[in-house]
Amino acid sequence: MTSPVSSSEPSVSHLGLLDARIQRWVWSKGWTALRDAQELAIPVLLDARQDVIISAATASGKTEAAFLPILSQLARNGEEMGVVLYISPLKALINDQWGRLEPLCEELDVPVVPWHGDVSATRKRRFMKRPQGVLLITPESLEAMFVRRGHEIRRLFGELAYVVVDELHAFIGSDRGKQLQCLMRRIEAAIERRVPRVGLSATLGDMDLAATFLRPEGPPAQIIESTAAGQELKVQVRGYVLQGLQSEGAEDEAAHASMADHLFKVLHGSNNLLFPNSRSKVEQYSDLLRRRCEAEGIPNEFWPHHGSLSREIREDTEAALKAGDRPATAVCTTTLELGIDIGAVKSVAQIGPPPSVAALRQRLGRSGRRPGEVAILRAYATEHKITADSPLSDRLREGLLQTAASVRLLIEKWCEPPRTGGMHLSTLVQQVLSMIAERGGVSAAEVSQTLIVGGPFAGLTPAHLKALLRELARRELVVQDSSGALLLGPLGERIVGSYDFYAAFTSGEEWEIVQDGRGLGTLPIDSPVYEGQCIIFGGRRWKILSVSTDPAVLLVAPDPSGRPPQFDSGRAMVHERIHLEMRRVLEEDTELVFLDVVAQGLLREARSFYRDARLAQRLVVRDGDAVLLLPWAGDLAHTALVLLLRSLGLEKGSNEGLIVRCEGWDLDRLTDACSDIVNINHVNLLAMLEGVENLGQSKWDWTLPRDLMVQSYASMHLDIAGAKAVAARVIQGVGVE
């Protein structure tokens, strides 16, 4: 499959506007011309007075687009150059960007300082003594600076000239993104002036939403969007059928072994990225492919990479890819999705449906970087053999269908717009405590003025803030003195003094994996673990010798035998546009040229079933004692609909991807409930989520009163308007038989 190549060049070169030393550096790199985004950014960012978003494909020079004019401006100011704050989502990306910027900055005599736990105190003190140049930092380290050096923030950033946010899409819609918005706002509050913000990203589904995220209070940022992607794309989606062997585990093992054989065949001898959809699958495929190398008598070419591995193991994988002197494929999670420089790879492989079109686009940007090379995507889909008891999702070949729809949307250059409407009250709690630590005490009015009025939490009312502060006081996180100032309470002191306070997000419980006293990394495990159990970790198989729950430690020894359990995380939330594209694929007769023979056959089966079951005309399907809805809406709407139906008496309901299942109800009962939903003017969230105990999915949710926790959860994880729209379709009788 070939994606059309397009290009756009600015009519006038702006290279001559840059500092002469930067111009010489550009020519020394052998560049015959700047890329379109780099040219367009120069006049905008030189002596900038406005916010800017630069959107361009991965490896298209976004870093240079921002920093060539920014460094030129700093260099021209000489001793009065000021500071550029570069904020990255990853420490590894900071290290990578330091390596890219340092040679040029050295020529310009502009300091460039990475700031994280692995950087020496001497280098940090040098910046603290004389804040100048480029400071590369994560939100967590910046938060720590506010808490521990709050009285120095005004001095450190008094001459701040730019704030650059890399991988902007990675922040939007998350607790961490809300933290970033707060930190940028607090810096400007400390220095009492606006500073131009520059957002960089390869994956932005909606530029207006991205601009609103970059500065919620406006005015909107100027958009620089590259049109010179110019990348030819080759795609193949391969289908595999689970043949119903002795057990489900045996089915999986046979299918995965077959996929591993093909992966080894096409990836062996080159550099690639392989993305399974979970850490456990990373471990499984690292193990399967390592074994094939051993069987062939060749050095291992397949290296695991995910967030639970030790830093040494991850760096070994990155080094193997970047070296370029031997074949290396990283079997990885989203840890290699962002902009870490690992060199060019020949191809990208995806096992199972991608978590999103945006993620697929980001991953594929790693391939086809070298002149004359094309980007290559190989996707692998497994489907069950159809029997008389096969569920509707299997008959529709949901996994293959989602993969095919994602590929088509990728080719159409669509990706998910950011979801920006969440309340993120967990992050507000953290920011209140952080502001108190920064300033030694704050008033409720100062909190409101800095974080709420025209700021990151602009949608909150005074009543929201009052209820939150009252709960924090009840829990002894804050106290109020006689002047009305908010101070840290006994529990607040302990929390803010802890190293893990600075992160706005948290993950599930992690088990540390230890062999002979040496830590190998950590692994999230929700399933029971016990002595004698086999796990895969670091691309190898291990036997658990002992289990300790406090702290959570697994003592392991190498074990080449045994079949490990699967520790998979939940599937990603699917956007409505993907579900609609899946329906569009089913309703067409056109053959998808990027499917292999097996996948073509699976799609024909799905299309035949779709037609025979008249699903184009039906919204509701009976399935024994259950009623199944095929709303073709997004997952957030499906989940909200299940919860609304549950509040009206549905005991057994579930969101199953394409399908919403209602056990024990007939069509009349469902229609009546949907009528009630449509007629609700104001949804009672407390009633809707009554009895749901796992609402506290963000780090500081446990500090919230129940009603605020419910509101915050619903704002981030549910689409109630979408659910009501589905209910309206049901009562209108659209497709009900």
Answer for the pair 218, 48: CB distance below 8 angstroms, yes or no.
Answer: no
pLDDT at 609: 97
Do the Cβ atoms of 249 and 341 come closer than 8 Å?
no
Q: How far apart are CA 111 and CA 533, in angstroms?
A: 52
User: What confidence score (pLDDT) does residue 15 get?
Assistant: 92
Tokens 């054989």 belong to residue: 261
Number of alpha carbons in the 13 Å side-chain half-sphere of residue 283: 24
The CATH classification number of 15-225 equals: 3.40.50.300
Which comes out higher in pLDDT, residue 681 or 547? 681
pLDDT at 661 over 80: yes
User: Residue 305 forms beta bridges with which residues?
Assistant: 332
Residue 393 to residue 396: CA distance in whole angstroms: 5
Predicted local distance difference test score (pLDDT) of residue 95: 85
C-alpha span between 64 and 51 (Å, rounded): 17
- Give the 3-state DSSP-derived string for 53-69, with helices as H, strands as E and coil as C: EEECCCCCCHHHHHHHH
User: Lowest-confidence range among 242-256, 342-356, 670-684?
Assistant: 242-256
Q: What is the pLDDT of residues 478-517, one digit of tens each?
A: 999 999 999 999 999 999 999 899 999 876 556 788 998 8
Distance CA 477, CA 432 (A): 10
Which candidate, 272, 288, 416, places its Cα nearest to that of 350?
272
Among candidate residues 578, 711, 715, 570, the one with its CA nearest the CA of residue 634: 578
- Highest-pLDDT range among 57-71, 551-565, 610-624: 610-624
Burial class (CB in 10 A: 0-12, 13-18, 19+), 263: buried
User: Token pair 């495990």 is at which residue?
Assistant: 525
Q: Can you tell me the mean pLDDT for 47-65?
A: 86
What confidence tens digit (pLDDT) does each residue in 379-394 have?
A: 999 999 999 889 999 9
Mean pLDDT value across residues 405-425: 91
Q: What is the mean pLDDT of residues 333-351?
A: 77
What pLDDT, on the 0 to 100 scale, is given for residue 249? 43
- State the average pLDDT over residues 522-545: 66
Mean pLDDT for 360-368 is: 83
Q: What is the pLDDT of residue 10?
A: 55
Average pLDDT over residues 233-257: 73
Instruction: Tell which wins on pLDDT, 228 or 128.
Output: 128
pLDDT higher at 372 or 445: 445
**What's the rounded mean pLDDT across residues 128-140?**
95
Cα 290–294–298 angle (5° rounding)?
Answer: 100
Among 29-38, 241-250, 330-339, 670-679, which is the least confidently predicted range? 241-250
pLDDT band of residue 613 (cuts 50, 70, 90) is very high
What's the pLDDT at 146? 97
Percent of the chain with pLDDT over 70: 90
Q: Read off the amino acid at residue 197.
A: R
d(CA 437, CA 441): 7
pLDDT at residue 340 in the model: 61
Q: What is the mean pLDDT of residues 257-269?
A: 95
What CATH class is the domain 425-500? Answer: mainly alpha
Please count the other Cβ atoms lying within 10 Å of the Cβ belonging to residue 675: 13
219: cis peptide before it, omega within 30°?
yes
Q: What is the rounded end-to-end Cα distance, in angstroms, of the chain?
A: 40
Q: Are 196 and 49 in contact (CB under 8 A)?
A: yes
Which tokens hold the place of 521? 């990394």
H-only helix segments in 489-624: 490-496, 576-587, 597-612
Residue 153, pLDDT > 80, answer yes
What pLDDT shows up at residue 421? 83
pLDDT digits (tens, 9 = 90+) for 69-105: 999 999 988 888 899 999 999 887 888 889 889 999 9
Q: How is domain 233-411 classified at the architecture level of CATH?
A: 3-Layer(aba) Sandwich (3.40)
Task: Report the number of secondary-structure helices (H) and strands (E) in the chain.
Answer: 26, 24
Q: Report yes or no: 331 and 304 within 8 Å, Cβ to Cβ.
A: yes
Vertex 26, ends 20 and 31: CA angle to 5°?
145
Residues 271-287 have pLDDT tens digits of 999 999 888 889 989 99
Mean pLDDT over all residues of the chain? 87
Name the band, by pLDDT with cuts 50, 70 and 90, for residue 534: low
Please answer whether residues 45 and 66 qualify as being in contact, where contact means their C-beta atoms are separated by less than 8 angstroms: yes
Taken as a whole, the chain contains a residue count of: 737
pLDDT exceeds cutoff 90 at 695: no
- What is the structure's pLDDT at 341? 62
Asked whether the predicted pLDDT for residue 621 surpasses 60, the reply is yes
- For residue 558, list its beta bridge partners: 542
Measure the CA–CA gap between 124 and 131, rounded to whole angstroms: 10
Q: If residue 147 lies in a helix (H) or strand (E), which one and from where to where? A: helix 139-148
d(CA 714, CA 693): 13
CA-CA-CA-CA torsion sign (709, 712, 713, 714): positive
* Mean pLDDT calculated for residue range 337-348: 73
Residue 450 tokens, joined: 């800095």
Q: What tokens does 253 get?
A: 């093992």
Strands 626-629, 660-663: parallel, antiparallel or unpaired by DSSP?
A: antiparallel
Segment of 169-173, 245-249, 533-537 carrying the highest mean pLDDT: 169-173
Residue 324's pLDDT is 74
* Whole-number Cα distances in Å, 561 to 419, 540, 541: 45, 10, 7
